[in-house]
Structure 1
Amino acid sequence: MRVPLTRGEDGVLEPRLTLGAVTVRGALYGLVLLVLTVSWAFLTQEHDTRVDILAVGTFLGLIGGGVVLLCGLFFWLCSFGDVRRWRDIPSMRNQHDAVAVIGPAFARVGVLLLVPTPACYGLGELVASAPYGSWVYGRA
């Protein structure tokens, strides 16, 4: 059951975001990204292009997702429990409140990028080692 959001006395939506909720939503978005990446890779007929798409997905997911997730967790810790949603931007009173919005956003995007990484790596290895002429290999 969904808890209704209400504005607290400082103008921030209550209840506050939790790390678990941000991670779950980022993982769900990552599954959508995985479906799009795999669809794009297998709709492409050329073998080398398939391998390249999956290799780029692996690299960007691992490096980009790891860096963004670590930055998000760092900003989350710097906000000292004052974690806010994007809809809470009008309630900001000083420049330091921006960290409270960026932390959860970066954490969600980092998880989003990390979720498809193992599947992209595994499919990339599968496509690279597929026998010539198979549907997984594609056209030469």
Structure 2
Amino acid sequence: MRAEDAIIRPLLRMRDVAARGALYGLAAVPLLGVASLFVGDHHDRRTFLGVVGLVAAFIAMVGILLGLFFWWTCGGDIRRCRDWQTVTGQAGPITVAAPVLLRLGVLALVLFPGALGLHHLVDGAVRQLAVRQLSHARPARPLSADRRAPDGSAHPARAPGGRARRHLAGGRAHRGRCRPGGPQGTGDR
């Protein structure tokens, strides 16, 4: 209902503005979850959700503080965005900005824990995936007796002195399989 000065009555109440901001924030959390599905890599998705959460915390702090300050300075003359035509004077836009900033701040205040919750959910999924991949990995095969070095060590390419042994015999390089004084080499170490 419009009054004679074309302002929509009743004027906005702080409780109604905050409730609508919280409702918008609750609707924004599932949209953020869907939007994060379009980010390809798990690490990038975690980073995206973490950044959105921190930006939402900053916007919530600034929006609520400025919105409450502007609401206080307006002295109860709070107008809707539809009442923009009725704004007069230099301080008039503050009467419209106060509920907008308060609503945006409450929206971001609700979005902040939702974004961080989704961040921890994705982080847990990444850790579960890493554990699952590690548990399904094949264990390393122990070296059989025929693949061991002549001194019995597990590295066939290493000599007892710790250096790699290479011998040339018949045009092919042999790594650690030549015995000293054997037919394939002279046994240099």
TM-score normalised by structure 2 residue count: 0.63
Question: What is the distance in 2 between the residues matched to 1:45 and 1:59?
Answer: 21
1:8 paired with 2:3, answer: yes
Deviates more, 1:122-131 or 1:85-94: 122-131
Aligned to 1:3: none
**In structure 1, the residue corresponding to 2:129 is in which secondary structure?**
coil
* Structure with the bigger percentage of helix: 1
Displacement after TM superposition at 1:133 (Å): 5.3
Pairing 1:132–2:129 present = yes
What is the match of residue 154 of structure 2?
none
After the TM superposition, list the runs of 4 or more consecutive aligned residues in structure 1 that deviate by more than 6 angstroms. Answer: none
Q: CA RMSD in A?
A: 1.6
How far apart, in 2, do the equivalents of 1:129 and 1:32 lie? 24
CA displacement at 1:18 relative to structure 2: 0.6
Query: Which is bigger in relative contact order (C-alpha 8 A, separation at least 6)?
Result: 1
Find 1:29's aligned residue among 24, 33, 39.
Answer: 24
- Once the two structures are TM-superposed, the CA of residue 126 in structure 1 deviates from its matched residue by 2.7
- 2:109 corresponds to 1:111: no
TM-score (norm 1): 0.84
Alignment of 1:23-102 (within 5 A): 23-102=18-97
Return the offset for 1:10.
2.5
1:17-69 deviation digits (Å, cap 9, x = unpaired): 01111111111111221111111223434111110121012101111121111
Which blocks of at least 5 consecutive residues in structure 2 are unaligned? 132-189
Distance (Å, rounded) in 2 between the aligned partners of 1:121 and 1:73: 25
Q: Which has the larger radius of gyration?
A: 2
How many matched pairs?
Answer: 129
CA distance in 2, matches of 1:38, 1:129: 15
